[in-house]
Amino acid sequence: LNLHSISTTTTTTSPTTTSMSHNHRPLHRSTADTSTTSSTPSRSISKDNTNLLKMPLLGGSGGLPSLHAHHQQSNYASNLSREDSTAASTTFPTSMGHSDNNNNNDDTLSHTESQFRSDVSVSSVSSSFTAAFVQQHHQPRSTSQIIQIHHGVYKPKKKSNSYISSSSSVTSQRDLLPIPTDPASTIEDLDDIYAIKSMKPYRRNPVLFIIFIISSICTLGFLNLLCRWFPGLQLYLTCLPCRLRSATHMLITAKYTNMKTACKIRDLSLHMMDPETHYMEIQLFRLFEYRKATYIYDEDVGIYRKTEFTLAYPFSHIHREFGKGVDEASRQKRRIFFGRNSIEIDSKNVFALLVDEVLNPFYFFQILCIVVWGMDEYYVYAATIAIMSLASACMGLYETKKNRNRLKNMTKFHCEVVRYVGDKREVINSSDIVPGDVIEIPDGPAPCDIVLLSGQCIVNESMLTGESIPVVKTEIAPASDDVYSYSAHKNHTIFSGTIVLQKRKQRRDKVYGIACRTGYATSKGTLILSILFPKPNRFKFYKDSFKFVGVMFVVAMILFTLSSIQLFRLHVPWHEIILRALDIVTIAVPPSLPIAMTVGTAFAIDRLKKQKVYCISPPRINVSGKIQLMCFDKTGTLTEDGLDLEGIRPGNKQGFDELVQADHLYDILSGGNSAHKLLLQALASCHSLTYVGTSLVGDPLEQKIFEATKYDLMDENEESSAPATVKPPISDMELDGNVDPLEQLMNMEEVAILRRFDFRSSLQRMSVIVKDIRYKHTISFVKGSPEMIQKLCQKKTIPKNFSKTLYKYAHRGFRVLACAYKKMTHVEMRDVNHIQRIDAESDLIFLGLIVMSNKMKSVTPRIISTLNRSMIRSVMVTGDNPYTAISVAKQCGILLPDDVVHLGTWNKGDSENPIQWVNADTGATLDLNSPDVDYEQINLAVVGDVFDVLVQSQNVSLLQLVLNRSNVFARMSPSQKMQLIERYQDQNLSVGMCGDGANDCSALKTAHIGISLSDSEASIAAPFTCTRPDINCVPIVFREGKAALATSFSMFKYIAMYSLVQSVTVIILYSINSNLADWQFLFVDLGLIFPIVWLIGTTKARQSLVKESPEGTLISFRVFFSLIGHFIMAASLLVFVWVDMRFQSWFVPLVPHESNKKNLRCTEATCMFIASSFSTLSIGMAFSISKPFKKNVSSNWLYTLTLIGLFCVVSYLTLFPDPISKYIFKIVDIPATYRVRLWIYCLLHMVAAYLYEKILVIRCLGYPVHKSQFRLGKLRLQYNTV
């Protein structure tokens, strides 16, 4: 079950071990200790009770809410304490809050470790995995636990704020330490993949299984085919519901797709020899695999738990306890739990893939249709459709095989790596890596997800993020108490599949790390899982299309009954009746509907590719036609990617100095006072830049600042473990002739970078600890957002005009950073790695501001204006300063230049009114509770911490008001961007996101459509990737989406009407036991339907983006009005022709013969063939009306010529049929005057159908215009809980 955030209460028990020896003595005896009253005796193995070894369950004193996850940085060892002495094993609180007992950390930890070494048997030392449970008190297991048990159906409860994890054991100490809560460590992509709606245990019944085998033989395998289409059916037929403990199979229903998967439960035993007693220890496991993950039965709580290795421990603990590697005993178990470190795609031969393709319901229905047509002696039609279906299947097989091979080649990777176990060094294949292994970082692709323990790496992560700029990965500090998080500490994690460009040694003679995730659990494995198990498409259009097929099947059954009764009255033989009835089913249920509805999407993807926009998720094309709100990142998306350094404003408590221009930065600051020189050193050293070969790589912003200092970075020696240094240029030094030049060079103001704390968006800063080589001072330089630096600095060092100066630059659209420093007294080189980040970044002295200009991209105002005219709301979501964001929003058109914007600020001390709304221009406050406030006219702006307050509070009305009236969200972290999009989606808005693909990955994936501006042609960061670095692609995607969606609706209506028209035609002819001839069916299907379906999607999208949108659902008045109207006109034409023909003086009615084939050449069939052909063509022309979403149909000259040609052919068969046509299509002679009359009837129907669709449906009913703002209910703006 998806247990990452579910709390429980449970009874704690000791592990149970089964041991075997020559004299059958138990391996472990009961032991006693002052802290433990008892231990569970050994349990024998029985066939009916095969148990997973019980593991020690660790309790806690309360869960840690997700909001306060950053408080985990405190030392968790201080919270270790002894709990209830009556419990079978000691428990610890998992809450990582602050404690007052910091002085006894080491003593408490060592006492606890020794206590557990004496309490727990060897079996618990090598138990299957540890588990941390968040609970208030130890209580017996009940129905209020993780799983609610109702009649054998197991359903997970709603998620809480607690976090449950499981990891493989390494040593006794690691097994028994509590696992800190880490809400952020779950991969977002896996939530949809592994989310389970229900789990139903089943046990195979021998009698039912025998009955199933006999039934399969009697039905010639059709029962097996049904079980193939409906995975849960076989379990229903062969198994009985049972208790979870005795289940042999598990039926799992996915949460979002309702897809059922039958999983077989396996019993597995692991034999291990105890090195001291030489007894054989047998560990028994019950497990099953679901979507490449292993679930193991936990007898203590009576559930199956998904295994997951976690490193949610303080950095210091990871170095100390995990840095020695994994022993062989633990490695064997981890291979069971986590499998091999390889992403293996099931390889199928061509025959197996062909069988899968043919047994697909679509092709199987086609096969049944071909069989029916063949038995009905429609040999030509059946053979033609069979050839086309086979060709289609072969093409599908080719594409499937090609994609599978491509996916397999992408995932197939093995290399040799060096693994360390203690002091032992061994070379292994990368597929043998298990979580917890300590390995040396190899060059090239990373074999798994690795937490860097020592050294530094330069990594290319373009495969994951689409960002081509290399990323610096640094080691986790050995003395830090920061708790590792997989998602929060990406700068310390090398992800699988990313390319290691360069390694740099630091403290050790090697660069190594610990494998934290392997196989499908890695970032690369997550990508493959998202391809194998794609997210469900919640677009209503696709759901309605399946409903329509079901409705058509019901209609087919009605027609089946009516035709059977009608033919029975004509005394038609039973086998003929069955064939006729089945034939009407093949006509009423259109098998070509799924293919026809993808035509528009296929052509849209091709047109997008020509405009450098690449799509990896075709269903998102149609979704893009319904977008109502578009979110934009600022830097690199709306503005230029690179920033220009405008200058530096040094500052002190008296105020700011004049702006130092970038061109004169080094000359002025190097010749200034000590504060100026410190500021210059801060600019030169506080960055994450490094060399790859001879190229300086890193953040372009930091490169601009560093280049302005004219300093040189000395770290190009990869083999050296010496710290990187920066020093001023030698060429600019004026050497004194009276002093030794070597001494002058030694007195250069060179700075050694001893330690770096990387930038974290949640902290809004980065810092470095440096050593001034000349003066031997140890200094901490901090760079970050001005608001954050202001909070961290001593108040007396902040310039008096700080806020005014910051507001001036931000209001003019400049991006501003601040610098500060702190002298680290009494700090030696050996102590640097033991410094906590909070110590290095507190009590700072302010240095100055960095002012950068971020130019607007030339196309941005025009594109935003286009979206505004199209009623698509634009919202800016950025991590920049709110005043800068407001200024840029007004420049690009998201806000009007004269708009009054009120910025929400957080008053931490005011619990009654924690958010204050301040005018961004005047500073005046706004009371939202005032009756004079017009909620439909105000403009709000929100920063990240205020957004968090709104989300955490219970005031839904205020949150809705902010979402509705805020177009600027500033200081937003990546996770907050994702939450914002989710909140908009909760308001039933179709939301898009456009960003650079790096920090915006989660938001791009969460949105209904995400557009990544990236250099690569296809990136997993978003469904759409544009290689052009501007937002010009956004309206292009929207235009193609509207055109593709309109085409899909046209295809749906056309195929539906074709089926209905053919059904009415056949039903009328059944009244005289006649039907359309073989070539007549073939002409309609291939001569009329196929060209229209294929070419209607080639009409290009309209050049301008319109405000109207196609319908998002098939169940709408407009769709039904169109279908019903056309059906009435077409059916009226057929009935009128049928009646009018019978009143003609020359008409001789058919005398029905028992054999249907002898009734095909008759006047009735000829007239119905002509009328139905014209009806099919007329409806196709009516549904070809392309405005307002596509260009005029006349612009598509190929399609226009095709329609004209088809009209001429049908008119020729009506007016001037030649003998060959008469013979092929079984057309009888009709008087010329009636042929003209019939042609006029059909022409009038064609004109009526065209005018009906154009005037009544399109012009009168029109298309919906979706508003980007949602209707606000009754507002209640008081703050209940914050």
SS3 content of the chain, % helix, strand, coil (to 5): 45, 20, 40
- Residue type for position 121: S
Note if 633 is an active site residue: yes
| DSSP secondary structure, 909-942, as one string | T-SSS-EEEEETTT--EE-TTSTT--TTT-EEEE
Burial 1251-1267 (b: 16+ CB within 10 A, else e): ebbeeebbeeeebeebe
Question: Which residues, including other chains, have CB under 8 Å from residue 186's CB and lie 6 or more apart?
Answer: 4, 5, 487
Among residues 633, 699, 948, 1000, which one is catalytic? 633
Q: Which pair of tokens denotes residue 605?
A: 């993807």
In angstroms, the CA 703 to CA 784 distance is 16
Q: Which pair of tokens denotes residue 1177?
A: 């063509």
Helix (H), strand (E), coil (C) string for 669-686 = HHCCCHHHHHHHHHHHHC
Question: Which residues, including other chains, have CB under 8 Å from residue 738's CB and lie 6 or more apart?
Answer: none
Instruction: List Cα–Cα distances, 224 to 230, 238, 263, 1258, 1271, in angstroms.
Output: 10, 12, 17, 48, 52
Sign of the alpha-carbon dihedral angle for 557, 562, 563, 564: positive
Q: Which pair of tokens denotes residue 780?
A: 């901490």
**Helix H or strand E encompassing 344:** none
Q: Residues for the chain: how many in total?
A: 1282
Q: Residue 387's CB: how many other CB atoms inside 10 A?
A: 10
Ramachandran class of 466: left when φ > 0, alpha when ψ lies in -120 to 50, beta otherwise: left
Is residue 121 classed as helix, strand or coil in its secondary structure? Answer: coil
Residue 991's φ and ψ, nearest 5 degrees, are: -115, 135
Question: Which residues, including other chains, have CB under 8 Å from residue 31's CB and lie 6 or more apart?
Answer: 39, 118, 119, 121
| DSSP secondary structure, 402-449, as one string | HHHHHHHHHH----EEEEEETTEEEEEEGGG--TT-EEEPPSEE-SSE
Give 539-545's long-range contacts (Cβ < 8 A, gap of 24+).
539/619, 539/622, 539/623, 539/626, 539/1112, 540/1112, 540/1113, 541/622, 541/1045, 541/1048, 541/1111, 541/1112, 541/1113, 541/1114, 542/619, 544/1113, 544/1114, 544/1115, 545/593, 545/597, 545/1052, 545/1114
Burial 528-561 (b: 16+ CB within 10 A, else e): bbbeebeebbebbbbebeeebeeebeebbeebbe
Residue 396's φ and ψ, nearest 5 degrees, are: -65, -40
**8 A C-beta contact, residue 1046 and residue 1186:** yes
Question: Which residues, including other chains, have CB under 8 Å from residue 698's CB and lie 6 or more apart?
Answer: 469, 470, 472, 687, 688, 689, 690
Question: Which residues, including other chains, have CB under 8 Å from residue 328's CB and lie 6 or more apart?
Answer: none
In angstroms, the CA 453 to CA 167 distance is 19
Q: Residue 229's CB: how many other CB atoms inside 10 A?
A: 11
Sign of the alpha-carbon dihedral angle for 60, 62, 66, 72: negative
Q: Residue 391's CB: how many other CB atoms inside 10 A?
A: 10
Start-end of H helices in 1090-1231: 1090-1095, 1117-1142, 1163-1182, 1197-1215, 1219-1225
Catalytic positions are: 633
